[in-house]
Chains A and B, each alone.
Chain A
């Protein structure tokens, strides 16, 4: 009986955990509830992914109202995969938050942190699970509002400004999305995504539908930080508490990418997006600029957290580059990179949070000689950095490999070259860390020898291990991504 209700429980358990943590008011109890809820969601997401892989899409009717009248949760290969990523990262970050949050936040705010954490996770999971366009908006706002709060909890006063800017841009993005959904609702009379897709053919070249596509594209692009709509991201990631940065960098933008994929390929359809409109060309151009400019800007950052924040913008460019190809290899690359980049960034920001705990912040002046004072953290960053670059044997290589395959398949050799060359810029910015940590003598601001506490180091190293593991065993990631790509291109499940 419980198994049949998993599609909704995966979202509802963190959602119920949020008010419980609020009522408990004690940091320890709140942390326990939050971590348990995230662990439950992760287990549920894994079961669901297995179920979907074995038996095909799962549908759940909220309140037993049949779709399209009621809200339907509909899981297929693609969003079950996203659920696994989000809940997995949330479950790894939650134990880490125990020490990290205690160190970075006043004690009387800690239980509120876990309330917001649960809400954010529930919102992100809900966005991935739901099959209803307006329900998606509600979950988008739950996730966004809680993440504005989480970012504003950062110690630095600039965290407030970053949260404010994110709030303004994020709300514009969500409002654009809801305008697009409104136009689609006017034309089709339904909010259920599957039903909408069934009614759209024949309306596809009407002006409201084209406007809806434009509004949804811009709105979601704002939220997923596609160049040039990424301006909120570096500040938000830099000034947020470490645990928040790790969670948001690994999941928030990825779920938005999923929303874009869902609307492009499941609702509007391949023909409208790629043939009637020049969306691939637009996405391609923006992705190329994003990769190039953000990677170059990352090179000059004085703070490791900010460097990786800019690198996130570049990596999102690789994901949208895969989407712009709109071929099986390209979409496989996009979905695989969505997952691989998620775990890579989680590993990096978790480790950087450990440095912030020991050194106050992760400015490069404090990283000198870090290889000796924090050896496990440093080697972890190097390994995850290799995954960021895309060195064979790491998860990052797999996604770059499919990206290059996709480029060659569509006959664009220059694009394959571009991917390889821009990876060299990633080498350069990861090298900056290696140079500071291993090739410089310890400066006066380098932290004294000693690792971050095990409760932080172990989750971080789990993420690092995942970066390496998914570089060798690709049956889960690539296998799922290929099936998701086939699904999106309408080649059957």
Chain B
């Protein structure tokens, strides 16, 4: 793929905007359609796109396997951590009402961190799946 100059240039141009769009979907989730799941998938798609153009090894250097696997765990922990924070501040599990000065800001804060956790885990899982499948086909062809 390294030969295709147009692809590489367009890819490099597009990738920042794709990442920005992922962030937009993530943070605009409060006011319109969007949220952590969609943003996570778009974020992972950026890396998949990168891997398609520059090759899987390059993508693996950019986002190593260990990082991807930690993302899977960290996102879930963040989500669960919001739940535990509800307990710590004297509410029930996953109680966002107690997280802020008033219930509305508490809900806002709670869902913000939950969506952040979802985005991290979803992009981690998507990348993990992509790496596993893409890497395995290579392994078969090598034999």
Contact = CB atoms under 8 A, between A and B. Distances in A.
Interface of A: 1, 5, 8-9, 12, 15-16, 18-20, 22-23, 25, 60-64
Contacts of A61: 92
B77 A16 contact: yes
B95 interface: yes
A22 B65 CA distance: 13
A47 B76 CA distance: 27
Contacts of A1: 90
Contacts of B30: none
Given A5-B87, A12-B83, A62 B73 contact: no
A12 B69 contact: no
Interface in B58-99: 69-70, 72-74, 76-77, 80, 83-84, 86-87, 90-97
A5 B92 contact: yes
A12 B74 CA distance: 16
Given A12-B93, A16-B84, A64-B97, 9 more contacts: A5-B87, A5-B92, A16-B80, A19-B76, A19-B77, A19-B80, A22-B73, A61-B92, A64-B95
A12 B86 CA distance: 13
Contacts of B86: 63
18 contacts: A5-B92, A12-B80, A16-B80, A18-B76, A19-B76, A19-B77, A20-B77, A22-B72, A23-B70, A23-B73, A23-B74, A60-B93, A61-B92, A63-B93, A63-B95, A63-B96, A64-B91, A64-B97
A23 B80 CA distance: 15
A5 B72 CA distance: 27
A63 to B, nearest CB: 4
A15 B73 CA distance: 11
Contacts of B94: 62-63
Nearest to A61: B92
Contacts of A12: 80, 83-84, 93
Given A12-B83, A16-B77, A16-B80, A22 B93 contact: no
Scoring A20, A25, A60, A63 by chain B CB atoms within 10 A of each residue's CB, the highest score goes to A63
Nearest to B77: A19
A399 to B, nearest CB: 35
The list of the 6 closest CB pairs from A to B, nearest first, reads A19-B73, A22-B73, A19-B76, A63-B94, A8-B93, A23-B73
**Dominant secondary structure at the B interface:** helix
Contact of B92 (A8, A18, A23): A8
B28 to A, nearest CB: 23
B13 to A, nearest CB: 35
Task: Say which size band chain B's interface belongs to.
Answer: 20 to 34
Contacts of B77: 16, 19-20, 23
Nearest to B95: A64
B92 to A, nearest CB: 5
Interface in B82-121: 83-84, 86-87, 90-97
Contacts of A20: 73, 77
A63 B92 contact: yes
Contact of A62 (B70, B84, B93, B97): B93
Contacts of B87: 5
A60 B72 contact: no
Interface string B5-37: 000000000000000000000000000000000
B121 to A, nearest CB: 9
Contacts of B84: 12, 16
Nearest to A63: B94
A22 B69 CA distance: 8
Nearest to A7: B93
Contacts of B70: 23
A22 B128 CA distance: 13
Nearest to B96: A63
A367 to B, nearest CB: 39
B5 to A, nearest CB: 40
B80 A60 contact: no
Interface string B122-139: 000000000000000000
Nearest to A19: B73
Scoring A1, A22, A60 by chain B CB atoms within 10 A of each residue's CB, the highest score goes to A22
Contacts of A15: 80
Contacts of A25: 69
B135 to A, nearest CB: 15
A19 B74 contact: yes
Scoring B76, B90, B92 by chain A CB atoms within 10 A of each residue's CB, the highest score goes to B92
A60 B92 contact: yes
Contacts of A19: 72-74, 76-77, 80
Contacts of A63: 86, 92-97
A130 to B, nearest CB: 12
Contacts of B97: 63-64
B94 to A, nearest CB: 4
A58 to B, nearest CB: 13
B71 to A, nearest CB: 10
A60 B87 CA distance: 13
A60 B83 CA distance: 14
A120 to B, nearest CB: 15
Nearest to A5: B87
A8 B86 CA distance: 12
A192 to B, nearest CB: 16
Nearest to B91: A64
Contacts of A64: 91-92, 95, 97
Nearest to B76: A19
Contacts of B93: 5, 8-9, 12, 60, 62-63
Nearest to B93: A8
A122 to B, nearest CB: 11
Nearest to B103: A64
Contacts of A5: 87, 92-93
